[in-house]
Amino acid sequence: GAGVSQSPSNKVTEKGKDVELRCDPISGHTALYWYRQSLGQGLEFLIYFQGNSAPDKSGLPSDRFSAERTGGSVSTLTIQRTQQEDSAVYLCASSSTSDRGDETQYFGPGTRLLVL
């Protein structure tokens, strides 16, 4: 089946504008993750969804960032009042779930965000 898809692939916006990034996980995967990859940096965890449970938002850098996952499938990451430091590649990953945390994450191609 299809892998994880993300849209748009590239987004250029002006400082202060809001942006929405979309992630469509692999069908049947109950876990969905958002990460941020800045130039020269590793992957920064942002948020995690598991089924119908409350999301783990501990990685969101500020209250300008929010995410939702509708119907346990598609997820949208919203950044309000974008700042230049928000420029990065935003990655989405999905996985099935095990209590042991040994499930493989499948990553999307990412959305490259540039805030001017």
Partner 1 sequence: GDSVTQMEGPVTLSEEAFLTINCTYTATGYPSLFWYVQYPGEGLQLLLKATKADDKGSNKGFEATYRKETTSFHLEKGSVQVSDSAVYFCALSETGNQFYFGTGTSLTVIP
Which residues would be at the binding site for partner 1 (CB under 8 A)? Answer: 4, 31, 33, 35, 41-43, 45, 48, 50, 56, 58-59, 91, 93, 95, 97-110
Enter the tokens of residue 101. 């945390």
Nearer to partner 1, 70 or 104 (CB): 104
The one-letter code for the residue type at 61 is P
Question: How far apart are the C-alpha atoms of 37 and 30, rounded to whole Å?
Answer: 23
Nearer to partner 1, 43 or 80 (CB): 43
Cβ 92 to partner 1 shortest distance, Å:
10
3 state DSSP class of 33: strand
Cβ 100 to partner 1 shortest distance, Å:
7
Question: How far apart are the C-alpha atoms of 116 and 92, rounded to whole Å?
Answer: 23
Nearer to partner 1, 30 or 80 (CB): 30
Cβ 22 to partner 1 shortest distance, Å:
15
> Measuring CA to CA, which residue among 59, 111, 61, 114 is closest to residue 84?
114
